[in-house]
Copies of this chain bind each other. A is one copy, B any other.
Amino acid sequence: MARRVKPEKSSAGLDARKAAILEAVVREHIDTAQPVGSSAVATHGELAVSSATVRSEMVALERDGYLSQPHTSAGRVPTDKGYRYFVDHLQGGAVGPVTQQQIGDFFRTVRGEVEDVLSQTSTLLSRLTSYTSVVVGAAQSFASVLSAQLVNLDARHQLLVTVFADGSVTKHGVYLDHDVTPSAVAEASRQINALLIGTTVESRVQVPSGSEDVATLVRESVSVLHDQRPTREGEQVYIGGSSRVAEAFDGVETVRQVLTILEQELLVVSLIQDMIDQGVSVAIGSEHGFEPLASCAVVVAPLTVDGHPSGAVGLLGPTRMKYGEAMAAARAVSQELTRYLEGDPRV
Contacts and interface: CB of A to CB of B under 8 A. Distances in A.
Give how many copies assemble into the complex.
Answer: 2
Chain A: interface secondary structure?
A: mixed
Given A147-B151, A163-B151, A345 B259 contact: no
Interface stretch (A10-18, A20-28, A75-83, A250-258): A250-258
Contacts of A173: 167, 344-347
* Chain A to chain B: the 9 pairs with minimum beta-carbon distance, closest first: A173-B347, A243-B259, A246-B256, A243-B260, A151-B163, A246-B255, A147-B151, A169-B171, A243-B256
Contacts of A113: 170-172
A157 interface: yes
A149 interface: yes
B157 A345 contact: yes
Looking at A116, A246, A247, the one whose CB has the most chain B CB atoms below 10 A away is A246
Given A146-B152, A171-B113, A173-B344, A241 B255 contact: no
A161 interface: yes
B345 A171 contact: no
Interface of A: 112-113, 116, 123, 146-147, 149, 151-154, 157, 159, 161, 163, 165, 167, 169-173, 175, 228-229, 232, 240-243, 245-247, 249-253, 255-257, 259-260, 262-263, 344-347
Nearest to A347: B173
Contact of A149 (B149, B165, B247, B257): B149
Contacts of A170: 113
A34 B243 CA distance: 27
Contacts of A172: 113, 347
Contacts of A253: 246
A167 B172 CA distance: 10
Given A116-B232, A252-B250, A263-B242, A153 B146 contact: yes
Given A246-B252, A263-B242, A344-B175, A153 B165 contact: yes
A171 B347 contact: yes
A157 B346 CA distance: 10
Nearest to A169: B171
Given A250-B252, A252-B255, 13 more contacts: A112-B229, A113-B170, A153-B165, A153-B346, A159-B169, A161-B169, A167-B173, A173-B347, A241-B263, A243-B257, A243-B263, A245-B259, A246-B255
